[in-house]
Chains A and B, each alone.
Chain A
């Protein structure tokens, strides 16, 4: 049997069919996290710390426990005491447990300290007021630079891992340094060196669906969990560890997911619902309020960064250096290493050095957010490159093209690039009508490049054929943005049956092997690769059945357009045998036909994008409007181009919010000031223009169809592209995000 490993001509891939779950989603029928109930169900509610940092002296829940509507109260004592504390990310289960329910100290405003299950949601909320917590308030710190200062309050001793150099504050928990060449020599060669500092605030993923779950756990250690998550296997594994039960005894079903963007890659309320259920012996539903989402789930890191870049008069970058300090809440995990590794990745640099710090502060535990760490680094680096271009009178696209990384370039993070598509995105930007369109007075244009690694991850897929020739495909990566459609397209491509004849299900943890989270832009890459391989596995078996029927060797049969056919004239003269003819009697010819694939694909190709944006600034009020936006990004191969465009547009829109108005605002008391959508200002429909997209396709050698992940890279360039546009429009360099009107107006005033 001949199966080409790589494919470049497609029948289904690259078309734009309706998504399989479209009807459910437009009729209100789709079941999201909060949309289920169970017989005998209780409602949970969580008591949260009003303090940024406080020792929990005593929790008295006796009044709550005595209330007739209350069926269970849990605190940290109701979770496993066998989860070990370890430094850095090695202690991640402990970190998650500590985040899910506070131990000795409340570490941030909104940190969970106790929870209740009661007969109604109102009763649960009311009963929270009956729990008395005695706190000893401690000094707190929320700013990254202040958290690193010698006089900063210590969040937790012993959290730093091996990497942190001697003499650093205990709040610095991880350190990264990499690069190559000699930056000092490089700076000496430069005609112009610019050194500047930049700050970004934490932003929230801002998914519209709050965290919600329904948990059932018996005293026999067997449980069921329904939750909105990017990865139900990681939820299974983590909940089991935190509750001290066996992983396989907890079955987790992923609901439809109302957005995640990285924020639903871990657990928050799920172990709490299970602990309450175990205590009450009844199912417990827990749904976060929006304010709880903002206060106690993953925002991204805030960052403080110093950049130094040297450039020759012809635009060649002679050296680049960056120091990136990222604050990730009261736990290790801020992706200072990722920021450092991504920041200069678009460029072919002889001399580069990057340093990243992971710093703790009294804020919620940061969670991944779309290319975690990369956008802030790109903001700082691309701002300095823009300033160099301006001062040297060079075109910003030409300068980037001159320095652009390509196949064979040593990446700033070490290895040599395989085939990559940055140059193609820059050339497309230069050729795009947007780049040459005239600007009106008061407008500025900015561009930026962006890089993201993309990820593979553990993946299991199962494909079962039915007698009538249709196929059911089970994947384990929750569908956040239309991935059922791309999975069905790839399966259709291999099987040669219509897209509509394939039903894609997101299987629960009991129905499929382990699957890593829907993150790292990995779903279309890894689940797609696994789908292709599972379908090919089924095709091998189909060919085997045909070979047996024809009485010829299996390697004399190939698969073409949904049919088994003899592989050549010497194989025999048989009519093509369609898939449905083989499946019709498969029970009698050897049994059901399925295909499987389980592996950790390791060829996720890196991806690059270039964005062009026009912004207009009102000089009297500092208000910015984005008037035109173009995203150009390498997709490797776009399986369903419309949903690829959607990823590009969504990344740009989130970047616009981050650049202009979104931020975590903490008061002097360390409390979050803006925990509702009224004051945490994500872009609304009237804030944005249409967002143009250009899909560049430079195939990824690590995927049979050439796919690169597309989900994350789109949020990397916007911060810098908009900052560059605003800086040109306003005539003053903006070094702090968000570029809210008060900041722009103040910058204009300072500039005279």
Chain B
């Protein structure tokens, strides 16, 4: 079984890896690039813990093959903060206690960032539906939604 050589960009850095065609982008990020922020919660695209952005589009990295990443721009949770400055979403997730165990948090942050980029003024309902593919078992989503709505307001005021 021959492996494929993939050149791609992750969080702005040019990277390369060899992968089996059966390996997912999530496998490649975690096992080959040691970017373990994205998690495998289900492997079937139902939990969103593996969310990343590919060419600006929110996807589940467990539902994309590693070979498909050739030439793409991939953004993961590890790239959300700018240096030591947290993104307002990250800051608000901490302040609002929008995480308990924290395993869904990377995926939710990536998804919420994507939401606010597409829709700076989401209603609560829009935020809930946008994040419906990100399962959280700890919080009941209340504090997550509040943190997202608060961030949206802050970002609107800042711009």
Contacts and interface: CB of A to CB of B under 8 A. Distances in A.
Direct contact of A and B (CB under 8 A): yes
Interface of A: 16, 18-19, 21-32, 34-35, 37, 121-122, 205-210, 256-261, 287, 289-290, 480-482, 642-643, 645-647, 649-650, 652-654, 676-678, 682-688, 690-691
Contacts of B129: 685-686
A256 B102 contact: yes
Interface string B70-81: 000000111011
A690 B37 CA distance: 28
Contacts of B140: 649-650, 652-654, 683, 688, 691
A39 to B, nearest CB: 14
A208 B44 contact: no
A28 B77 contact: yes
Interface of B: 20, 22-23, 27, 30-31, 35-44, 46-47, 49, 76-78, 80-81, 86, 90, 93-97, 99-106, 109, 125, 127-129, 131-146
Given A210-B40, A481-B100, A25 B105 contact: yes
Contacts of B145: 685, 690
B138 A646 contact: yes
A34 B128 contact: no
A261 B140 CA distance: 14
Q: Is chain B's interface secondary structure helix, strand, loop, or mixed overall?
A: loop
A168 B102 CA distance: 46
Nearest to B90: A26
Contacts of A677: 41-42, 44, 46-47, 135
B106 A28 contact: yes
A22 B99 CA distance: 9
B100 A26 contact: no
Contacts of B95: 18
A258 B103 contact: yes
Given A34-B39, A209-B39, A290-B43, A682 B137 contact: yes
A261 B105 CA distance: 18
B135 A684 contact: yes
A482 B103 contact: no
Contacts of B81: 27
A207 B20 CA distance: 29
Contacts, number: 185
Contacts of B47: 208, 290, 677
A121 B31 CA distance: 10
A207 B101 contact: yes
A26 B137 contact: no
Nearest to A692: B142
A206 B137 contact: yes
B38 A34 contact: no
Contact of B46 (A257, A261, A678): A678
A28 B76 contact: yes
Given A209-B41, A289-B43, A290-B41, A27 B77 contact: yes
B39 A26 contact: no
B86 to A, nearest CB: 7
A259 B138 contact: yes
The CB with the most chain B CB atoms within 10 A, among A208, A256, A687, is that of A208
A19 B94 contact: yes
Given A29-B37, A29-B78, A677-B135, 16 more contacts: A18-B94, A26-B90, A26-B102, A26-B105, A28-B38, A28-B77, A207-B101, A208-B49, A260-B101, A287-B40, A290-B44, A646-B100, A646-B138, A677-B41, A685-B129, A685-B141
A28 B138 contact: no
A643 B97 contact: yes
